[in-house]
């Protein structure tokens, strides 16, 4: 069985494959319990019709074999977390500082940037640095700090 062990979707997808040994390709499944009524299917996936609550959910699946016996249950646990993420998972990056654009064929001559989609057309998050006054420089976009040195490594 497969699925996502952690998801922010209230309608996660679980998948499974046949055991291959005497399996008929007919399955039954049950959500969050093995007690009660099972749902039969010939599909190898399950997506809930209605959104599930936050928390852990277990999908149990059995396959009907060629001898008319249901297999032992396979299962997969998925945790649904609907808490909104804090901030972006991608860092803010500074602009490259590129201001010119060039044609895409030799002799690679400079051309107007408007409408080219090249880096020189954009000025997003312009480079910005702060001198901390203690021999350190801070990149105001990324927050990175490094030692200011015009001579090279010491």
pLDDT, one tens digit per residue, over 121-142 is 888 878 888 888 888 888 887 8
Instruction: Please tell me the distance from the alpha carbon of residue 88 to that of residue 131, in angstroms, as a whole number.
Output: 27
The answer to whether 46 and 32 are in contact (CB under 8 A) is: no
Q: Of 140, 102, 103, which Cα lies nearest the Cα of 120?
A: 102
State pLDDT tens for residues 67-85: 999 999 999 999 999 887 6
Tokens standing for residue 8: 């922010």
All structural domains of the chain: 6-80 (2.60.40.10)
Q: Residue 89: its pLDDT value, please?
A: 60
pLDDT at 145: 84
3: which residues sit within 8 A by CB, 6+ positions away? 12, 13, 14, 15, 59, 76, 78
54 contact partners, CB below 8 Å, separation of at least 6: 10, 80, 81, 82
Tell me: pLDDT of 154 over 60. no
- The pLDDT confidence band at residue 14, using thresholds 50, 70 and 90, is very high
Ramachandran angles phi, psi of 137, nearest 5°: -125, 140
What is the C-alpha separation between 127 and 97, in angstroms, rounded?
A: 7
């Amino acid at each position: 069985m497969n699925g996502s062990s952690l998801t922010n979707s209230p309608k996660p997808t679980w998948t499974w494959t046949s055991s291959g040994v005497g399996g008929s390709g007919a399955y039954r499944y049950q959500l969050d319990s093995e007690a009660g009524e099972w749902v039969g299917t010939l599909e190898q996936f399950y997506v809930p019709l209605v959104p599930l609550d936050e928390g852990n959910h277990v999908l149990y699946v059995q396959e009907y074999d060629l001898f008319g016996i249901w297999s032992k249950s396979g299962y997969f646990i998925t945790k649904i977390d609907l808490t909104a993420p804090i901030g972006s998972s991608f860092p803010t990056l500074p602009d490259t500082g590129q201001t010119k654009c060039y044609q895409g064929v030799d002799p690679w001559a400079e051309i107007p940037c408007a409408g080219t989609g090249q880096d020189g057309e954009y000025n997003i998050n312009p480079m910005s640095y702060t001198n901390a006054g203690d021999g350190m420089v801070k990149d105001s976009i990324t927050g990175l700090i490094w030692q200011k040195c015009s001579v090279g490594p010491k």
